A and B are shown apart, each in its own frame.
Chain A
Amino acid sequence: MSADQLVFWIFAPIAVAGAIGMLLSRNAVHAALFLVVNLFCIAVMYLLLEAPFLFAVQIIVYAGAIMVLFLFVIMLLGVDRGDDLREPLIGQRPLAVILAAAFVVEIAVAVRAGIGFATMAPEGFDAVNRDGNARALARVLFREYFLPFEVTSLLLIVAAVAAMVLAHRRARAVTQAELERLGLLEPPREEAPSP
């Protein structure tokens, strides 16, 4: 077994275990941390697939930014009670498990028919990745995919504006009487009687 395959067999079970841990944990914070474990393992898979740029992006964007955002919202909402375990639909959960297992079997059959379990990654990726993966990726991104890249910036602006609009709390109008009651405002003083 080569070094690559050894790394795969170390990190693939950890990735699956992280996903299962996320499914089963009652506490939302624990689930988020399990998901971080899973995302790190997927980042290692990118390294095995000779995509070091995506490895870095995965760790910075997913494990860093997105999961911090998740944890921030979990803390903000104070979600510390677990899900209640009543089943609103009888038999929904066993059915979901069966369907997920069927999906895995389906993928296995499709992979076996399509590429076969023994097909190795072909040689010659070094030529594709010449001058380094980041530079090669930039060459593709800024030539063939330039228009989608620009549209992406529009998407990010729309998302930022949408977040502000959705999460903005409108301030209630405060009347002058309330301010006076709180003592924040001097009551209007009467005109001094002129002698």
Chain B
Amino acid sequence: MRTPIAWFVMLSGILFALGSLGVLIRRNALLIFMSVELQLNAVNLALVAFARMHNALDGQVLAFFSMVVAAAEVVVGLAIIVAVYRRRQTVDVDDARELRW
């Protein structure tokens, strides 16, 4: 019935590290974006775990808000990626390093 809270926090830390690894080593903008999603999810898991530890629901509410913000962020980010692709025919972030066209 009962699981140590630290296991969930460790799992969350490992997933966050893997997500930041993805942001650092991948160069496809879509894959970088997916890695950011992974990081957000890892943080959500930690929030829910701490909510369970403190017997309070505030962590769950915060995780809920973070999901909403993530949804909005995905919409805007993917629109930017589509706009960059239209102009340059690439999603490689190294090809889009100048800030002008």
Contacts and interface: CB of A to CB of B under 8 A. Distances in A.
Given A3-B1, A23-B26, A66-B74, A77 B79 contact: no
Interface string B65-101: 1011111111110111111011000011010000000
Given A125-B52, A145-B61, A103 B16 contact: yes
Nearest to B13: A107
A14 to B, nearest CB: 11
B13 A103 contact: yes
A108 B13 contact: yes
8 contacts: A12-B7, A22-B34, A22-B38, A51-B52, A70-B78, A108-B13, A160-B75, A166-B79
Interface string A45-60: 1101111011001100
A111 B9 contact: yes
Interface stretch (A93-101, A171-179, A186-194): A93-101
Given A49-B8, A100-B21, A167 B82 contact: yes
A54 B76 contact: no
B75 A69 contact: yes
Contacts of A92: 24-25
Interface residues of B, number: 71
Given A69-B78, A83-B27, A104-B13, A49 B55 contact: no
Interface of B: 1-11, 13-22, 24-28, 30-31, 33-35, 37-38, 41, 44-45, 48-49, 51-53, 55-58, 60-61, 63-65, 67-76, 78-83, 85-86, 91-92, 94
Interface string A114-129: 0111111110110110
B61 to A, nearest CB: 5
Given A77-B85, A125-B52, A137 B60 contact: yes
A88 interface: yes
Contacts of A15: 11, 15
A20 interface: yes
Contacts, number: 236
A32 B55 contact: no
A131 to B, nearest CB: 12
Given A12-B11, A111-B6, A124-B55, A73 B17 contact: no
Contact of B1 (A4, A122, A145): A4
A163 B49 contact: no
Nearest to B26: A83
A20 B3 CA distance: 25
Contacts of B37: 35, 62, 66
